[in-house]
Structure 1
Amino acid sequence: MSSDISYTTEEIAKMLKISKLTVYDLIKKGELPSYRVGKQMRIDATDFEAYKQRAKGVKTIPQTVSASSGDHSPTHYAAPAVNGMRPIVITGQDISLDILVKYMEKGISGIRPLREYVGSLDSLISMYRGESDIVSTHLLDGDTGEYNIPYIRKLLVGSSYMVVNLLSRNAGLYVQKGNPHGLETWTDLSRPGLRFMNREKGSGARVLLDEQLRLHGIKPQTLAGYELEQTNHIGVAAKVASGEADVGVGIEKAAAIVGQVDFIPLIEERYDLVMLKTADNMAWIQSLLNILRSGEFRKELQAIAGYDLSRTGEILYET
C-alpha cells in the first residue's frame, strides 16, 4: 500500500528532476511533510502524491500535524531549560568545537552546551528544523569557489542568522606513505585501478569530492570504492594507512593523528559557524563572539597544527 511506502530526499529529487537542496527547501516551507529516521529524512508516498496534486492545482485535504509528530516549519523552538540552564546544541565534528564548548561552559552563564557529531549538510538541515543553535559547516560551492554561504542562503531562506569564521584548514588527499601512485591533483582520481575510501553523504568532505569530480568531468561510478563510507576524517585516513584503500579525501590534521599516511593539500577550506538570531539566542551570541576573538581561545587553537586563525571571530555574513 502507498501508505507503507516512503522516499528519501534523494529519491524525491530524482523523481521531480530537481536538486536535493530544492527538496529541503520544500520541506522547510512545510510544502512537503517529512520525518526523520536516524540521520535520514523520509517523505511518505501519500504526502508526496498530495504535494504533486497541489502543484497541479488540485485541492487536497490538509493533514493535521499533531504536537507529537513535530512541526517542520522554519520556526525555531528553543529547548526547555533544565535547572535554569538552557541547552545549546552545537553540531560538527572538529576538535575545535570541543574546545569552544569548554570556553562556553566557563564564560557564558545560563546555558548548557551540548555536542552533536553530524556532518555539515545535516547540521544546516537540523538548524532550519529548529533542532540546533550553532552549526559548523565546510561546504564548497564548486561553481563560485565560495564556502558555506551559498548553501546557507538556500537552506535558511527567511531566517535571521549570522555566519562567523571559526578557522580555515587544508583539505586534500590521503595517500599511502611515500605516495606510491604519484597522486598530485583532483584529476589523478580518474586513474584506473585506484581504490577509494569515501565519506558519508552530507559531510563537507563528501561535498568537496563530489564538486571536484563534477568540475573535472569524472564520473563517481568510475571510482572503485566510491560507495564505501567512513563517518569521519580519521576513519578515511586510517583505511588508507592500513592499505585497505589507496586514496581518500579529508583534512590535514587527521593525517597527522593517524600517522603512516601522507597528505596532499589541494584546497584551503573555511570552517564557519552559523547562529540563528532569535530573541533567545541574542542573549549569548555576543558572549560567544567575545570568546572566539579572545587571545586565550586563539592561543589554545594555535597549538593544534593545520589551523589558520587569521579570520577567527570575523562576521562573514549576516541577515
Structure 2
Amino acid sequence: MAPIGKALAHARMARDLTQTELARRAGISRQALGAIESGAYHPGVAIAIRLARELGTSVEALFGEPDGEASSLVEASWFDDARRRAAPPQTRVALARVHGKVVAVARPAAHLTLAPAAGVVQRARRHRVDVCTFRLPGEIDSTLLMSGCDPAVTLLVDWLARRGSPVHAVAIPCSSRKALRALVDGRAHVAGVHLRDQKSGEYNLAPIRRALGNRRSMVVNFARWELGLATAPGNPLAIRGFADLARPGLRIVNREDGSGARSALDQALGELGIEPERLAGYQFEAGGHLEVAAAIAAGLADAGVTIRLGADAYGLHFVPHRDERYDLVFMEDEAGSMPIKAMLDALKSRRFAHEIAQLCGYDTAQMGQVIGA
C-alpha cells in the first residue's frame, strides 16, 4: 500500500469504518476509495476535503507526497496496435521487454488454462495414489497448497514466481467449509475462509474454532471484499436485492453448500421469509465466484451471489450486499515451514497489498495481520 493510501486507511480503521461506510459518507464509490487507499488514484481537492471532514482530520494529514513505494508509469508499445484498436482504460496487461522496448499485452481477467502438473497418477486405491512425478523431493517440499474460493490466489502464485521464490503455490478451489476440512485432514497447508457467524455477526473465528476444535492454528487476514448480486450488464431486470430473486421466471445460479456465498444467500432468504425452493435455479451450483459470473455472462442465469471482482471480470452489473473479511488459517506448527513463511512474507509486503488492492478492488489495509490464534 502506498503511503498516501496508508494514512487514509489507518485513519478510517481508527474510527472503525469500512470502506463502504466511508465511501457512502464522502459521496464516492467504494471502488474509488479502494483505489485511493491503494495509491492507484490521487483524489481531487473536493473529494480530499470531504474525506478529511468525515474522518475528523486535515487534508494534509491524509494526503502527503508519495514516495518510492507508489507504482511507476511505463510507456509501452501496445500489442494490438497492428489492429488499430486502442486499449480501454483499466485493461489488465502483461509487460515484457522485446528487442529493447517494453510491450504491453492485454490479459483477460479470467480464463481457462491448462494447469501445470507435477506428475500423473499411475494407480489409485481409496484415498491413496501412486504418482509418476517429474518433481524432485525439494520441489515437492516447497509447494504450498492453498484451499479456498478467492480468485486472487493466482496473483500470489505470480508474485512468488516473480520474486524468484523457491516456493510454488497451488490453488485448490473449494468452499470455505471444504477448505477447513482439507486443513483438518492434512490435505492443504492453508484454508481461505469467509463465513459469517449468524449469532455474533463476526467473521471466520467461530467457524474455524468449530472445525478445528482444540487444534492450534493461526488466522491472518488476506483482505476485505464486497459480496453481492451479479446481474446481466445494465441490470435489465432491475434487480435491487435478494427479495427480487423470488420473481416468477427469474433464474439464479447458486454456490455449493458450505460456501460463504451460499450462506449469505440462505441467511438473506431466511430473513425475508422466502423458501429457497421458490427460487428457480437454486439447485444450479457453480464451483466458485468467477464461475457464478461466467454463468450469468453466458445467459445461463439472471443473477447470482458473488464478489465484486467476479462481476467486474465479466463486465456484469453488481448490487452490493455487505463487506466481508477473507482470512487465511493454517496450523501453528506449520508457521516455520518454507511454504507458510513465503506466504506470510508476501502478505507483509506493502507492494503485494497494493497490487491486490489495485487489480482486485479489495481492501487490503489489514493484509498479513494476525486475526486470531
Structure 2 length as normaliser, TM-score?
0.58
Which residue matches 2:146?
Answer: 90
Letter in 2 for 1:265: P
| Unaligned 5+ runs, structure 1 | 1-67, 72-80
Encode CA deviations 1:8-55: one digit per residue, 9 max, x unaligned.
xxxxxxxxxxxxxxxxxxxxxxxxxxxxxxxxxxxxxxxxxxxxxxxx
Question: In the alignment, is the contact (CA less than 8 A) between 1:142 and 1:212 conserved in 2?
Answer: no
Which residue matches 1:294?
Answer: 349
Q: State the SS of the aligned residue for 2:328.
A: strand
Of 110, 113, 121, the residue aligned with 2:169 is 113
Which residues in structure 2 correspond to 1:1-319 (within 5 Å)?
82-83=137-138, 85-86=140-141, 87-104=143-160, 111-259=167-315, 261-278=316-333, 280-284=334-338, 285-318=340-373
CA distance in 1, matches of 2:237, 2:139: 57
CA distance in 1, matches of 2:178, 2:299: 30
What percentage of residue pairs aligned between the two structures are identical?
35
Q: Cα RMSD between the aligned structures?
A: 2.6
Letter in 1 for 2:276: P
User: Which shows bigger deviation, 237-246 or 221-230?
Assistant: 237-246
Encode CA deviations 1:207-256: one digit per residue, 9 max, x unaligned.
22122222332211011110111212233223323433221111111111
Encode CA deviations 1:247-295: one digit per residue, 9 max, x unaligned.
1111111111112x211011111111001111x4423445533321212
User: Structure 1 residues 276, 108: closer, same or farther in 2, change over 3 A?
Assistant: farther
Question: In the alignment, is the contact (CA less than 8 A) between 2:220 and 2:329 conserved in 1?
Answer: yes
Deviation at residue 105 of structure 1 after TM alignment: 5.4
Letter in 1 for 2:204: N
CA distance in 2, matches of 1:129, 1:242: 36
Deviation at residue 85 of structure 1 after TM alignment: 4.8
Deviation at residue 141 of structure 1 after TM alignment: 2.4
User: Structure 1 residues 234, 98: closer, same or farther in 2, change over 3 A?
Assistant: closer
Encode CA deviations 1:144-201: one digit per residue, 9 max, x unaligned.
2222212111000011101111011111011223323322222333333321111222
CA distance in 2, matches of 1:84, 1:244: 41
Question: In the alignment, is the contact (CA less than 8 A) between 1:237 and 1:258 conserved in 2?
Answer: yes
CA distance in 2, matches of 1:105, 1:238: 28
Question: In the alignment, is the contact (CA less than 8 A) between 1:108 and 1:287 conserved in 2?
Answer: no
Q: Aligned residue pairs: how many?
A: 241
User: Structure 1 residues 227, 270: closer, same or farther in 2, change over 3 A?
Assistant: same
Question: In the alignment, is the contact (CA less than 8 A) between 1:194 and 1:224 conserved in 2?
Answer: yes
CA distance in 2, matches of 1:69, 1:198: 30
Structure 1 length as normaliser, TM-score?
0.68
**After the TM superposition, which parts of structure 1 deviate over 6 Å for at least 4 consecutive aligned residues?**
68-71, 106-110
CA distance in 2, matches of 1:141, 1:88: 28
Deviation at residue 115 of structure 1 after TM alignment: 2.5
CA distance in 2, matches of 1:269, 1:113: 24
User: Structure 1 residues 297, 213: closer, same or farther in 2, change over 3 A?
Assistant: same
Letter in 2 for 1:177: P
Q: State the SS of the aligned residue for 1:239.
A: helix
Q: State the SS of the aligned residue for 2:200.
A: coil
Deviation at residue 108 of structure 1 after TM alignment: 9.1
CA distance in 2, matches of 1:207, 1:190: 17
Q: State the SS of the aligned residue for 2:183.
A: helix
CA distance in 1, matches of 2:310, 2:239: 18
Question: In the alignment, is the contact (CA less than 8 A) between 2:227 and 2:305 conserved in 1?
Answer: yes
Which residue matches 2:39?
Answer: none
CA distance in 1, matches of 2:138, 2:194: 34
User: Structure 1 residues 114, 192: closer, same or farther in 2, change over 3 A?
Assistant: same
User: Which shows bigger deviation, 176-185 or 301-310?
Assistant: 176-185
